[in-house]
Structure 1
Amino acid sequence: MPHIRNFTPGPVEISEQVLAAQYGSQKLHVGPDFAETYVRVTENLQTIFGTNGHVAVVPGCGTLANEMALGAFLQPGKRALILDAGYFSSVLQRSVEGWGAQADLLPIPAGQPADPQIVQNALSAQDYDLLCFTHVETSTGLLNPIDALTQVAKAAGVPVMVDSVSALGTCPAQMDDLGISAMTTASQKGLESVPGLGMVALSETTWQQLETRQLRRGGMTDLLRWREQFNTAHDWHPSLTTMPVGVVYALDIALKKILSEGLETRFSRHIGARDYFCDAMTQAGFDLQIIQGARAAGVTAVQTGGRFASSRLVNHLISDHHIRIAGGFGANKEDVFRVAHMGDHANIPALKAVVSAITEFAESHAK
């Protein structure tokens, strides 16, 4: 069976070395070998998040990481402002409400980043306990201006929680420098590894504040328990529960690869890949879903313009070119297709094959 190359925004294509680290003989989640790997993963994630605060690496997904992060701030009677930029903003809303807090959605105009002035006005009009938004909205390829948004929140005295599931590893995070209180991600996107892990990074100040909370929520979702386990048993059993051991070893290889390349070099490579792909789609007569200046480095959403249904393109690329891309979300599912340029696929030679296949299809299968 031929290999189908993933240009989807998660899970992304991964290297043979990362795949090999996941498999092989069964390994234990206790003992010095695993403990050393788990600790190294945690420390390398601190570098990529740009924080001195502890990073909790948990079994699961980005949505679980978000819920755990939100639990550090919210409980019944609390209120969060969520910047509504697409589908994954609604996922944040469900998580906020799951903690018993009130979630207010601030709509973001289609195709545009959040306007810091509008966010400032919203924070001034109502007392909020938390500002939440997606760093990159996977459903649209929107990159939000985290620096400007964090400055606005800081001026209002409101902590910030950023869902960076589709961004971390493709663009700068700089958590501590920006004053972000919490940031989350998962293993299968910009970190170029296999699915199975969520990560929650809290600033040192947020960890200290969490220690003084009177009310702890949950058992396995209690971030303090994860940090306590890490600190007290880091040389033998650093995780709170049995981990997907192979996934941790795979992420270890992926993070070493990322840091070996160098973050600035990696970010520049992703930007170059994005610019090439966006220019190629524009030259082919397509409109892009996000305006220039707010396009994610790792994923681009392209409008079909009614020329064809996106599912036809997705299926054609799989069957005829062994390339997998993604369709749209919700009401515009058939009007948008999405192509990821993350990890090893964030390069022009790899994307040329995708561009060629898309333009060939558009020319021969248009309505």
Structure 2
Amino acid sequence: MKNRKLLMIPGPIEMDPAVLRAIGEVTTSHVAPNFIESFGKSLELMRNIWESPKGQPFIVAGSGTLAMDMAVSNLIEPNENALVISTGYFGERYKNILETYGANVTILQAEIGETVSLEIIEKELASKDYKLLTITHVDTSTGVLTDPKPIAEIAQKHNTLSILDGVCATAGEETLQDNWGIDVVLTGSQKAIGVPPGLALLVVSERAMHVWKERKTNVQNYYGSFHNWLPIMTAYEERRPSYFGTPPVNLIRALEVSLTLIDKEGIANRVKNHIKYANAFRKAVLALGLEIVPKKEAIAANTMTAIYYPKNIDAAQFRKDIADFGVIIAGGLHAEIKNLYFRVGHMGAITKSDIVATLSAIESALEKQNYNFKSGVSVGEFLSNSN
């Protein structure tokens, strides 16, 4: 265990020591040669991690919600149709963002723990002309994983732009942006990217950039407009200084370090490790007799797990006992089941020993409430499946 509490929530996450060192470096000017190099390299590395050599990356100070906002505000125009494919809380958030910009929004809401079927999506897209659709790759409120590839294929068939909310997925779940034909893939720095909160990150396809350039009305968003940020991204990638708003220098330096680590490991290998640890963690949870929120293994996220409390467990005391053990987990987020489940993040630089410590904390907390299980079963199950 570390000499502090272990952060095992679905973001912010534990970070590589090299990233933490970068955050602590002396702050330089945003037009200093070393920072220009750092910013430019980060943009180039994003194309590798997103697997989008033709895409336009954006790095902007803000949260993942800003990335969601930028994707929509630059592409949608008033009274255009938008389709939201929702598997939890963050689908509803996208509905609210779209309506802010005057879109006519239809939401396809999955039941808790389920995904929306491709047949329903196809039928809805065929019913009228949709400008864009949004997909939540991993909904942080339910731990449900949606496969974006076939949805993007359907969107292309109907000439509809696709926006993938990868806030809890990018760099942890397989994402082949160009190959799959996804128009925007967005995330926040504090999830599987492995950097402290504060950066909105998105890569936009050539097709989506063309749609933005051809829009008939002005973007109703000053701070998030591509009009203001595209010249900045272009300049830094060409290793020239530029200015619109002061960038978070230390965060972008940390982003460069983290993206470099991911790129050296290879994004395919990084995703493979997430899948391995997630599968082993779920088996460990099931060995305790606990149930997860996703109703099928195939739609369970590899970056986090949403787990129902056992019956007759004091949820608040359970989480407190885990914290006293030295591990921080998250409570529920989805309004309909908020008090029925908890969430564990396992993405980024998380190690095998971190997950073992988390399972040990869960077992300790369960034991204090006289829950019936075989001591050590979850740790043993995890270790036997994580090699």
TM-score, normalised with respect to structure 1: 0.95
Task: Write out per-residue CA displacement over residues 134-182 of structure 1, whole angstroms, 9 at most, x where no aligned residue.
Answer: 1110111111010111112122221111110000010121111111111
Q: Does 1:226 align with 2:229?
A: yes
> Post-superposition shift, 1:239?
5.4
- Aligned residue in 1 for 2:256: 252
Task: Write out per-residue CA displacement over residues 257-296 of structure 1, whole angstroms, 9 at most, x where no aligned residue.
Answer: 1111111211111111101110011010001111210111
Separation (CA, whole Å) in 1 of partners of 2:30 and 2:75:
30
| 215 and 366 in structure 1: CA distance in 2 versus 1, 3 angstrom threshold | farther
Q: Compare 110-119 and 274-283 and name the one that shifted more.
A: 110-119
Q: Does 1:313 align with 2:314?
A: no
Separation (CA, whole Å) in 1 of partners of 2:65 and 2:153:
25
The answer (yes or no) to whether the contact 2:13–2:347 under 8 Å persists in 1 is yes
Return the match for 1:184 from 183, 186, 193.
186
- Aligned residue in 1 for 2:359: 355
The answer (yes or no) to whether the contact 1:87–1:139 under 8 Å persists in 2 is yes
Return the match for 1:327 from 324, 331, 344.
331
Separation (CA, whole Å) in 2 of partners of 1:323 and 1:313:
12
Task: Write out per-residue CA displacement over residues 322-364 of structure 1, whole angstroms, 9 at most, x where no aligned residue.
Answer: 111111112322211111111221x433211211221222232
- Aligned residue in 1 for 2:130: 128
- Aligned residue in 2 for 1:33: 34
Q: Compare 61-70 and 209-218 and name the one that shifted more.
A: 209-218
Separation (CA, whole Å) in 1 of partners of 2:297 and 2:64:
27
Separation (CA, whole Å) in 2 of partners of 1:171 and 1:340:
13
Q: Compare 230-239 and 297-306 and name the one that shifted more.
A: 230-239
Q: Does 1:93 align with 2:98?
A: no
> Post-superposition shift, 1:366?
5.2
Q: Does 1:7 align with 2:12?
A: no
Paired AA for residue 224 in structure 1: H
SS in 1 for 2:75: coil
Q: Does 1:240 align with 2:241?
A: no
Paired AA for residue 308 in structure 1: I
Q: Compare 252-261 and 108-117 and name the one that shifted more.
A: 108-117
- Aligned residue in 1 for 2:307: 302
The answer (yes or no) to whether the contact 1:311–1:334 under 8 Å persists in 2 is no
Separation (CA, whole Å) in 1 of partners of 2:366 and 2:69:
41
Task: Write out per-residue CA displacement over residues 174-229 of structure 1, whole angstroms, 9 at most, x where no aligned residue.
Answer: 11111111111110001011111001211012112222223221332111321123
> Post-superposition shift, 1:238?
4.4
Q: How many residues align?
A: 365
Task: Write out per-residue CA displacement over residues 277-326 of structure 1, whole angstroms, 9 at most, x where no aligned residue.
Answer: 1001101000111121011110000111333243322221112x211111
The answer (yes or no) to whether the contact 1:7–1:323 under 8 Å persists in 2 is yes
Separation (CA, whole Å) in 1 of partners of 2:212 and 2:24:
37
Separation (CA, whole Å) in 2 of partners of 1:239 and 1:282:
52
The answer (yes or no) to whether the contact 1:41–1:252 under 8 Å persists in 2 is yes
Q: Compare 162-171 and 304-313 and name the one that shifted more.
A: 304-313
Paired AA for residue 335 in structure 1: L
SS in 2 for 1:334: coil
Task: Write out per-residue CA displacement over residues 224-265 of structure 1, whole angstroms, 9 at most, x where no aligned residue.
Answer: 321123324642324531011111111111111111111121
Separation (CA, whole Å) in 2 of partners of 1:102 and 1:243:
34
- Aligned residue in 2 for 1:174: 176
- Aligned residue in 2 for 1:206: 208
SS in 2 for 1:81: strand
Q: Compare 15-24 and 266-275 and name the one that shifted more.
A: 15-24
The answer (yes or no) to whether the contact 1:27–1:245 under 8 Å persists in 2 is yes
Return the match for 1:106 from 108, 116, 119.
108
| 100 and 228 in structure 1: CA distance in 2 versus 1, 3 angstrom threshold | same
The answer (yes or no) to whether the contact 1:216–1:222 under 8 Å persists in 2 is no
Separation (CA, whole Å) in 1 of partners of 2:216 and 2:336:
43
Return the match for 1:264 from 259, 264, 268.
268
| 66 and 155 in structure 1: CA distance in 2 versus 1, 3 angstrom threshold | same
The answer (yes or no) to whether the contact 1:70–1:95 under 8 Å persists in 2 is yes
| 286 and 27 in structure 1: CA distance in 2 versus 1, 3 angstrom threshold | same
Separation (CA, whole Å) in 1 of partners of 2:218 and 2:169:
30
TM-score, normalised with respect to structure 2: 0.90
Separation (CA, whole Å) in 2 of partners of 1:307 and 1:38:
52
Q: Does 1:147 align with 2:149?
A: yes
Separation (CA, whole Å) in 2 of partners of 1:306 and 1:351:
24
Separation (CA, whole Å) in 2 of partners of 1:247 and 1:18:
9
The answer (yes or no) to whether the contact 2:6–2:354 under 8 Å persists in 1 is no
Question: CA RMSD of the aligned region, Å?
Answer: 1.7
Separation (CA, whole Å) in 1 of partners of 2:145 and 2:309:
21
Separation (CA, whole Å) in 1 of partners of 2:242 and 2:263:
23
| 102 and 310 in structure 1: CA distance in 2 versus 1, 3 angstrom threshold | farther
Instruction: Give the gaps of 5 or more residues in structure 2.
Output: 372-387
The answer (yes or no) to whether the contact 1:138–1:166 under 8 Å persists in 2 is yes
Instruction: Give the gaps of 5 or more residues in structure 1.
Output: none
Paired AA for residue 354 in structure 2: A
Paired AA for residue 132 in structure 1: T
